[in-house]
């Protein structure tokens, strides 16, 4: 196997899909979880978790998530429910909601919406028609702006047009300061069923070039 002595190198272009999945999902961690609520044409609410997910910018705010196809090659309900310009809500997942979130990854038939089957209370959307999960500490209301397909990878890009945050996590509504720790969000780790909390957080101050120069010139000054 090529590579430096202390690393193993894997050529993903020659490996089967299952191996590629294990490698990339074992390395890119923790991944936030988009618990996506959508509406089908008949008005049934669908809810499912997606950890190929993140926010990609803020001007405009854009989120991306990637629903793969089922093993029979058909799109998952979430992807089917988001046509061009379609609405969806990304509910963020707290530790308290982990088990309920996991239960919604069960492949219920489309007409039996997960929230109804599992008794997950919903609240109406504000900027979109799709409802949010009542117990979720924060929800992003989105409108699809583009869907990028690369092979069997489908990436849905949505503009975030509204945000609902549980009141206790809003420190200053006028200044838009949030207490992110209060959200107690979880992330997806590698391996089967692995998760992480966001409780073990730390801060590092950013350093300007002038500060870096000052420190380098006088390393013992601090
Ligand atoms: C934590 C977690 C993360 C997941 N992330 C993804 C993902 O990024 N892409 C995907 O296609 N499926 C993912 N799944 C599996 C889907 O949630 C599952 O296939 C679900 O049944 C899809 O539901 P739907 O057909 O209602 O959209 C994930 C499951 C869990 C539990």
Domain 15-217 of CATH type 2.30.110.10: yes
Dist. CA 63 → ligand 1 center (Å): 16
SS3 189: coil
The mean pLDDT of 12-35, rounded to a whole number, is 97
Cα(170) to centroid(ligand 1), Å: 29
pLDDT-derived band at 220 (thresholds 50, 70, 90) equals low
Identify the pLDDT of residue 219.
65
Confidence class for position 119, pLDDT limits 50, 70, 90: very high
Please give the pLDDT value at position 142: 99
Only one residue has tokens 């998530």, namely 65
The structure tokens 């390395």 sit at 27
Q: Is ligand 1 within 6 A of the CB of residue 131?
A: no
Write out the two tokens for 189. 């780790």
Percent of the chain with pLDDT over 70: 97
Task: Tell me: pLDDT of 148 over 90.
Answer: yes
Q: Where do the domains of the chain lie?
A: 15-217
Query: Which uninterrupted H or E stretch holds 186?
Result: strand 186-188
The whole-number pLDDT of residue 113 equals 84
Measure 50 CA to ligand 1 centroid, in angstroms: 5
- Residue 104 alpha carbon to ligand 1 centre in Å: 8
Confidence at residue 4, expressed as pLDDT on a 0 to 100 scale: 79
Find out whether the beta carbon of 110 lies less than 6 Å from any atom of ligand 1. no
User: Residue 133 — pLDDT band, cuts 50, 70, 90?
Assistant: very high
Mean predicted lDDT score pLDDT of the chain = 95
Name the more confident of 222 and 2: 2
What are the CA-CA distances from residue 204 to residues 43, 176, 198, 201, 220 (Å)? 46, 21, 16, 10, 20
Q: Which residue has a Cα nearest atom 6 of ligand 1?
A: 50
* Element of type H or E holding 170: strand 170-172
């Amino acid at each position: 196997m090529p590579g430096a002595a202390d690393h193993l190198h894997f050529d993903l272009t020659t490996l089967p899909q299952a191996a590629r999945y294990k490698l990339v999902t074992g390395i890119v961690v923790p991944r936030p979880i988009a618990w996506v609520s959508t509406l089908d044409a008949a008005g049934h609410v669908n809810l499912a978790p997606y950890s190929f997910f993140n926010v990609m910018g803020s001007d405009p705010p854009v989120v991306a998530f990637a629903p793969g196809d089922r093993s029979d090659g058909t799109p998952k309900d979430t992807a089917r429910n988001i046509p061009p310009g379609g609405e969806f809500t990304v509910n963020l997942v707290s530790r308290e909601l982990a088990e309920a979130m996991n239960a919604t990854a069960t492949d219920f038939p489309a007409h039996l919406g997960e929230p109804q089957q599992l008794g997950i209370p919903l609240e109406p959307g504000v900027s979109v028609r799709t409802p949010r999960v009542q117990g979720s500490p924060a929800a992003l209301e989105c409108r699809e702006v583009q869907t990028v397909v690369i092979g069997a990878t489908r990436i849905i890009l949505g503009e975030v047009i509204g945000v609902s945050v549980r009141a206790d996590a809003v420190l200053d509504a006028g200044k838009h300061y949030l207490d992110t720790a209060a959200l107690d969000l979880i992330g997806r780790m590698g391996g089967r069923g692995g998760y992480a909390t966001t409780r073990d957080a730390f801060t590092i101050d950013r350093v300007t070039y002038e500060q870096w120069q000052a420190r380098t010139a006088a390393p013992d000054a601090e």
